[in-house]
Every structure is written in structure tokens, then in C-alpha cells.
Structure 1
Amino acid sequence: MASGSSGPESSRSFFSYYGRNAQRLEMVVAPEELEFFAQQELVTVVPNFSLDGSASLPCIGGNFGPFQPNMPTDVPLWMATMLHNRKKCRIQPPGWMNAEHLQGVYDEEKRSSTSFQPLPFYYLEVAQSLFRENPTDTFGAEGFGKIRDLLEAIRKVRYHKIESGLRKVENADTIKLNNLAAAECNLIRLLFKGSLDHFYELTKNDKAWKEASLASVSLSEPF
């Protein structure tokens, strides 16, 4: 079971899908960019302050609030972490980050070798951000360790199914991978990008060869 500490070990990026050679991969979208995109995901906070009575806070992404002590409200992840760091709120764990729910997801992932359970598109990035912000305060020491271990187990099962599914691409006209998350799509993009680039080069060479063949035939014909 993972430790419930909130130090560097708890905030390390254990959600890496890219292995030890991540720095050498030319990824279209970097893991840090995915985490940036995930900052717009809504989470629930319980403020301990008031903001001009019933006024909302206007932002580019919309109006958020009102902020009243002990009154839950939904805000973007970036705002939640900012308020939490200033000790202005308590972050409520998202419903899908419940240990019992994640255990059910893990069991279903293991039961089916051809399908993926529905999870938020940025579930890995949201979890990574919340785990970085004093996770024992949000999840409790014991709850944090259990949830962290379950998410890592789910990640590994899904990664294995992705690998197994991609090995069968050569024998199928289409490949169906529903309910993939952002990091998982990013992983597949690496393979498909290289494969499509290679296919394009082969197609281009084949077209040039056919044109050269037609030109050779036309020149050999008598006038």
C-alpha cells in the first residue's frame, strides 16, 4: 500500500505512460500540456470565506461562486488549488475518486479484455494535480494511499489492454478503443503518427513508381 505522506514521493508523476525514455520521445502533446488542459475541469470546494455576499467571481471560462463559508461550489481545478494553497477552502474529492467506485472500475477492467470502463477524460491529470496539493488533507492518510494504489492498478491494466489491442491492428480493418483518457490517446498517437508517416512515404513512393512505369511504357511504344 502506498504511503500517505504528502512529500515529494506522493507528488511524483507515477501516471507516466511513456516509460523511462519519455524525454527522448517527440510527443505531439506533452504530459505537462495535458495537465494544463485538465486545469479547466470542475471540482467542488468548500470555502471558508465570503465574497461580497452572493456575488460570483467572473473569469474567462465563466462566472464561479458564490463563495460562502461551508457552502460547496464548483470551480475549475486551477482555482481550487489556488484557494487551497491560500487556505481559503477545502477540496472535496470528485465522486469518481471514491475507493469503492475505483475498486469496481478495477474489477471490471480486469474482467473484460476488450473494453475500457468510462472515466473522466483527464482523470489521470486531475488525480495528479490533487495528489500534489496536500492529498492527506483532501483524501485522508489512509484514503489517499488506497485511492492512489487503485488508480495505479487501473492505469496498468488499461495500458496492458492498449498494448494487446494495438498488436492486433495488422489483422483488422478497424480498431475500436472506447472510453480512452487523454494520456492514453496521447500514447496511441505516438504509434499511429509514426505508422501513418511511414504509410504516406510508401504511398508516395508507389505513386512515383507507377508514374515512372507509365512514362517508360509510353516512350517504348512506336510512333
Structure 2
Amino acid sequence: MALPLPAGLTPAETAFLCENEPITVIPRQRMQSIELLSGPTPQLNPPRPTTLPLWLALLLHRQNRATLVPPPWLTPAGLETILAAELASPEFCDMLPFHWVEIAQALVSGGCLGGEEAVVGRLVRGVREVRGGKVRGFVVAGEGGVRGVGTVGAWEVGEVRGVVAGVGGGLARLGGGGGAEGRREEEEEDEDEEGGIEMGEGF
């Protein structure tokens, strides 16, 4: 019998969806345009900054053919500003992209931050902990949905999925679910809660 697939996206699937996010590079050598399914890439002319998909930027960085330029929010100064804003307000800071955790993880693990990987990793963990507490608090408290949901990242949605399933299942049982059916639903929800997204190494 086939094993049931976990609800939601796996960490690998979430990271894959992030690979087309635009990122700026400074080419170290000329390179002609490449025809991709999504369209042609820009021609690379050093030292003119160029925007490329994240996967291609990381590849060129590993080949020492381009220097990857971190986005302004993924610098120590940018993350300190974001962390201060997150701590100062119950709302979500709108300075981060939807795939901010995945982008940060890719650039830190790829050594793309000019020696500041350790500092950036520590700040990313701090921002992630503050925002994660907000998401879980709003859901459990029944705030009528997560306020500022448009600024919640993809990874954060995956992390809170188990909490949402647990709350929904608890409300269903309070509404009259019981007996064998209720126990079966409870077991399924417990399995879902174990399938939340976890961060990779460095976070």
C-alpha cells in the first residue's frame, strides 16, 4: 500500500520554487544570452550589474564567473532594521520577500555574503523566531486569520501548517466529533503536525 503524502510542501519543494527569484550579479566575464524555457537571459558584460534567476546566479558564483550581490534586506544593517521593526510592532514587517528564508539559506550556505555569513545567519534566526511567534500567536488566539498575511513567507506558512491543522481539528471535535471517527481524525492531525517545515543547517 502506498504511503500517504504529507500535506503541504516539503522543504526541498519550497526551496525549488524559490530558484526563479531575481538576484543581482556583477559578471566577471562576458557571456552571451542563454535561451531558457522562461525566455532568454540578459547578456553579461563586466562590470555591469545584471539581474538573473537565483539558480543561475548561484551557479555562476560557484564557477567564479560572477559576484552575487545580496539584496539590501540580507545585510547585517538591513536585518537589524527588520528585527527592530518586528520587535516594535505586533504586525509583520513588509520589508521581506515571500521566499526570504529560502533566499537567505541559499546565499548563506553558498558563501555569497563576503564573509558575513555567520552574522547574517544569526540575525536571520532572530527575525525568524520573532515572526514565527507572531504567526503561531495569531492562529492560536483566533484573530480571525493572520493579520498581514500578505507579508508572511512561504517557509513560515509551512511551519504553522501543523498548528492550523491542530486548531481546526480541536474545533471540529468540540463541535460534536467523537467515537472512532473522532479518534481517527485526531491521529491524522497528529501526523500532519509532525510534517512541518524545518530549517536547514545554519539556521
Q: Please report the TM-score for the alignment, with normalisation by the length of structure 1.
A: 0.68
Q: Which shifted more, 176-185 or 186-195?
A: 186-195
Q: Distance in 2 between matches of 1:80 and 1:150?
A: 23
User: In 2, distance between residues paired with 1:163 and 1:205?
Assistant: 24
What CA RMSD, in Å, does the superposition of the two structures yield over aligned residues?
Answer: 2.5
1:189 paired residue number: 161
Counting only pairs closer than 5 Å after superposition, residues 9-48 of structure 1 correspond to structure 2 as 26-48=6-28
Deviations, residues 125-161 of structure 1 (Å, cap 9, x unaligned):
011111121x2xx3222x3222221111101111122
Alignment CA distance shift 1:90-1:123 (3 Å): same
The Cα of 1:175 is off from its aligned counterpart by: 2.1
Q: What residue ranges of structure 1 are gaps of 5+ in the alignment?
A: 1-24, 207-223
Within 1, Cα distance between the matches of 2:172 and 2:73?
41
Q: 2:114 matched to which residue of 1?
A: 140
Percent of aligned pairs sharing the same letter: 26
Taking the aligned partners of 1:27 and 1:125, their CA distance within structure 2 comes to 19
Q: Quickly say closer, same or farther: Cα 1:83–1:148, change in 2 above 3 A.
A: same
Distance 2:43 2:72 in 1: 22
Match of 1:176 among 122, 142, 146: 146
The answer on 1:149 being equivalent to 2:129 is: no
Instruction: Report the Cα distance in structure 2 between the residues aligned to 1:167 and 1:197, rounded to whole angstroms.
Output: 12
Report what 1:220 is aligned to. none
- Give the gaps of 5 or more residues in structure 2: 179-203
Shift of 1:109: 0.7
Structure 1 position 111 matched with structure 2 position 111: no
Whether the aligned pair in 1 keeps the contact of 2:20 and 2:54 (CA below 8 Å) is yes
Structure 1 residue ranges, 4+ long, deviating more than 4 angstroms after superposition: 194-206
Query: What is aligned with 2:77?
Result: 100
Post-superposition CA distance 1:91-147 (Å, at most 9, x none): 1111211221211110111111x21102110000011111121x2xx3222x32222
Between the two proteins, the alignment pairs up a number of residues equal to 171
What is the one-letter code of the residue matched to 2:92?
F
Deviation at 1:165, TM superposition (A): 1.7
Larger radius of gyration: 1
Counterpart CA distance in 2 for 1:60 and 1:199 is 46
Residue pair 2:140, 2:167 contacting (<8 A) in 1 also: no
